[in-house]
Structures are given as structure tokens and as C-alpha cells.
A and B are shown apart, each in its own frame.
Chain A
Amino acid sequence: MKKRLLIKNETMPVIPHYIVFQYSEIRKEWVLNAPERTLYPCKIAVEVLKKCNGNLSIEKIAEELATLYKAPVKKICKDIKVMLQDLADKGFLECQTN
């Protein structure tokens, strides 16, 4: 039986091979295509997802976004954990080491 992926500061999230995160030239938008679901990430979520490559921890992603958006790292870390936990619970996110 699978285990629930819990998103922690040290988790290095990755978008699974069967999820397609792509930019639609026709609709001019980013989408996340998953089994029988299409999600539409907002601009900031797109930046988060671009960093979900399996090599960056949540802490590291938050640091990079804090620099980019000139925002407090703690707040960003908290927000992206909520967002990525929701995605993980829907099976849209994986992690090699949890």
C-alpha cells in the first residue's frame, strides 16, 4: 500500500512522469495535466512548480522565491507547503526521499 507523502522543509518534491506541466501556446497559460484532471496554476504557483525538480528542498525553494518576490521566507515556506501538500494528496507530486 502506498504511503501518504508528507511535505516537510527537507522534502525535495518532483512532478511525476505521468503529470504534464506545460505551457499552452494556444490558450497562453500554464496547465498541469493529470489523470482526468487539468489544473491551472496561478503565476506564483507556476514559479513554485518550475522548481519542483527533485533536486531542491522546500526550504531551498522558499529561499529562492523569497529573493525573487522580496517576501519573508517563513511565510513563503508555509504557503508553498500548504499548496504542495494539497497537490501531493491528489497524487500530483512525488518525492524520492520522504
Chain B
Amino acid sequence: MPDKLIIPERTYTEAPMAILAELTHRCPLSCGYCSNPLELVKKNSELTTDEWLDVIDQAAAMGIYQIHFSGGEPTLREDLEIMVEHADKKKLYCNLITSGVLLTRKRLEKLQKLGVRHVQLSLQDSDSKNAERIGNYKGSLEKKIEVAEWLRELKIPLTINAVMHRQNLHNLEDIIQLSVDLDAHRIEIANVQFYGWALKNRAAFMPTKKQALASKTLVDKLIKKLKGIIIFDYVLPDYYAKKPKSCMFGWGRQSVNVTPEGFILPCGAAETIKSLKFENIRDEKLAWIWEHSSAFNMYRGTDWMPEPCKSCDHREIDWGGCRCQALALTGDVNAVDPTCELSPFHEKIFGSASEESSKEAPKFVYRKPTNKEVEPDRRNVSYAKKEHIS
């Protein structure tokens, strides 16, 4: 028998493995680090129920295995149940990615019955006041804990998606402990990605280097301690890494995003690349787009890569990192991802992140429609000074 009986992940794919269905951009929370585009899709431009059902049919016909119902807040779509039921019938594995704050136990039970097999719940902080301040939603932590308890009772596996940044990294250990206490199956320690709205508030959320390194030490320790109890997904924040992340496991390799108005993207932030033309499901079939769209083919594989990426041993590990980030930080979408230490911009980016985070955290601005400015939490934390997680 071979030594390794399971191949954990596949890198090559003739069709995507997963589809992210961004049902809506509407959301009851107003997080300042929202990575959705600056201009949100309005309700009357969203794909209709029938259009989404057609997307699901097309995805199933391509052999896609998983569907992630996401947003914005997907539970704002009253037809979510219809889509889940349809996707399950088509043998798509249904994940629900939600803030949880609008869910009732009854609706959750119904969604489970119709086919939701896993729920990912976002968490702003384990500190109730700070969670409320970050997401601009009163009682959000308590509500999320309630939802997590329903999930446990209903035996639906839970992933906690903890969005981490300068203003909550000091609570990372508590957040992990809370996830363990809630019997979460997985925890994604998701460092804020500075795209879309988040870029406006970068200085308020950029962790200090010490915070970033201390969080890595803590997570490495807890991964060992909690083996078999909770699964961790964690990478160092981009700005402090030496190698780029394998963004989306490679452009156009494993998954596909559908925006609320039907644009088909290789990743959620791809629309920031204005030089690319994205196709819409209202005009073309998903399989055609996956195979022929110039946007998908532009950065697929390794042929497009500049040096030193092209001859780098990591080229089929990180797939050249993140194109959106290369554009946002260097002004050139074709440049080496500046997260990579081989990029000529690396030191500058690294330096600017360190400098930005060493100053007192500025106010941040809530995501629309609030647009309200928010003061740093001054109860006992100066984010520039409190750099250690316990």
C-alpha cells in the first residue's frame, strides 16, 4: 500500500472546485475593514432567484463540488432557502458564510433540512464592546454565540471566521478559546485584507510587526496543543510576510466568484483591476467564461509571470501571489507581489506598514451606508503600545 492514502488538496483543475455566490452586497454590519468594492451593488441590480438557480445548474453541470453562499449578508435574501434546496439537489456541498446576526433557530433548522452542511460565522472580537464598535451592530457577539450554540445543538459544523487586525489582535487567544468552547470545527484567523473599503482604513487596522509575529507564535503553539480539537487556517499578515500567499490557490485554478449582479471573477477583489474585462453570467455561460474569458486567462498558470517569479521554485506554490495587491501597492498589476522579499518594493511596503502601525491608531470610517467616523477604543488599549497578546 502507498505511504500516503489521501491526496489532501488538488492543485490542477479542469473546472473549478468551488463557487462563491455573493448573493448580495447588503449587510447589517458596517465593518470598516469590509473588502467589498467601494461601489456596492444595489438590490434591484442583484441576480434574480431564477438567474441564481441557473448559475447553480451550470456549476453542477461543470462538476463543481462546493458552493459558498456569501455576501454581504446572504440571509438577507429571502430566496436563500430556494437556492440551498436546489444546490443540494444538484449535489453541491452547501456552505453558508454569514454574520449570523439575522438568523433565527427556526430558519437555521430549515436551512439545514434543505441542505446547508456547514456554517461559517464571522467574529469581530471576543470582547463584546469592541465587537460592537468594530462592526457597528449592537449585541453582535451575544447573537453570534447564540447562533453557535444552535449550530452545536443541530450538529452543524461551525467555522469561526475571526477577522484580525490591530484593534483586536490582543484578544486572539480569547477568540481561539471562545471558538474551542463553542465546539467550532475550524477557525480561520483571517488577517484583514486591504482591498475595497478596507484600504481607506488601512492605518487604523494595520497590525504592528510585534503583534503579527506574536500572533504567529501563539497560533503555532495552539495548533499543536489543539490538534484533533479544532482546525486552524492561518497565514501571516501579507505586509509582514516574506513570501506571498497563494491567493485563491492560483488565479483561475480552483474557484470562481459570482458577484451579486452576475460578474464572474477569479477572486473577490479582481474588479479593482480596471484593465481586465469581466464577463457576466447574463451574457455568457459559466463554463465558457471559465475556459475562455480573457480575464481568467490573463494570470492563469505561470506563463504571464515576470522575473524573478518565472524561474522561482515557489512559482507553483504561491502562483505569483495576489494581482490585486500588486496593483494596489505598486501601481502595476503585472509586478511581483510586493509581499515577496524578492520584490524591489518589498522593503518600502514593509517599512510603510511598520511606520503606519507604530503611530496612534487613527479614526476609521464605517462601511456605507453609515460612513460614521469611529474613534479608537481608549478604554485601556493604545494599539501602538499594546503589542503583545497574552
Partner of A35, one of B8, B157, B229, B230: B157
**A-B CB contacts (within 8 Å), total count:** 104
A87 and B4 alpha carbons, distance in the complex (Å): 12
A27 and B156 alpha carbons, distance in the complex (Å): 28
Partner of B231, one of A16, A41, A91: A91
Contact B228 A5 (CB under 8 A): yes
Within 8 A of B (CB), among A1-52: 1-6, 16-18, 20, 22, 24, 26-27, 31, 33-42, 44-45, 48
Partner of A36, one of B3, B61, B66, B181: B66
A89 and B54 alpha carbons, distance in the complex (Å): 37
Contact A48 B5 (CB under 8 A): yes
Contact A40 B7 (CB under 8 A): yes
A61 and B229 alpha carbons, distance in the complex (Å): 25
Contact B229 A18 (CB under 8 A): no
Known: A24-B65, A35-B118, A38-B17. A1 touches B183 (CB 8 A): yes
Known: A18-B117, A45-B5, A83-B6. A33 touches B185 (CB 8 A): no
CB of B379 within 8 Å of the partner chain: no
Chain B contacts of A58 at CB under 8 A?
none
CB of B28 within 8 Å of the partner chain: no
CB of B346 within 8 Å of the partner chain: no
Please encode chain B, from 14 to 31, with 1 for each CB lying within 8 Å of some chain A CB and 0 for all others: 010110000000000000
Contact B63 A36 (CB under 8 A): no
Chain A contacts of B227 at CB under 8 A?
4, 89
A1 to chain B, nearest CB (A): 6
Using a Cβ–Cβ cut-off of 8 Å, how many residues does chain A contribute to the interface with B? Answer: 42
Contact B159 A35 (CB under 8 A): yes
B308 to chain A, nearest CB (A): 32
Chain B contacts of A88 at CB under 8 A?
228
Contact B5 A80 (CB under 8 A): yes
Residue among B15, B66, B93, B230 with most chain A CB within 10 A = B93
Contact A33 B5 (CB under 8 A): no
CB of B186 within 8 Å of the partner chain: yes
Contact B118 A36 (CB under 8 A): yes
A44 and B1 alpha carbons, distance in the complex (Å): 8
- What residue in chain A is nearest B228 (Cβ atoms)? A4
A49 and B298 alpha carbons, distance in the complex (Å): 40
CB of B91 within 8 Å of the partner chain: yes
Partner of B7, one of A3, A24, A39: A39
CB of B348 within 8 Å of the partner chain: no
- Complex A-B: 15 CB contacts under 8 Å: A1-B183, A4-B229, A6-B228, A16-B157, A27-B15, A27-B63, A33-B93, A36-B186, A38-B10, A39-B7, A75-B1, A83-B5, A89-B228, A90-B231, A91-B185
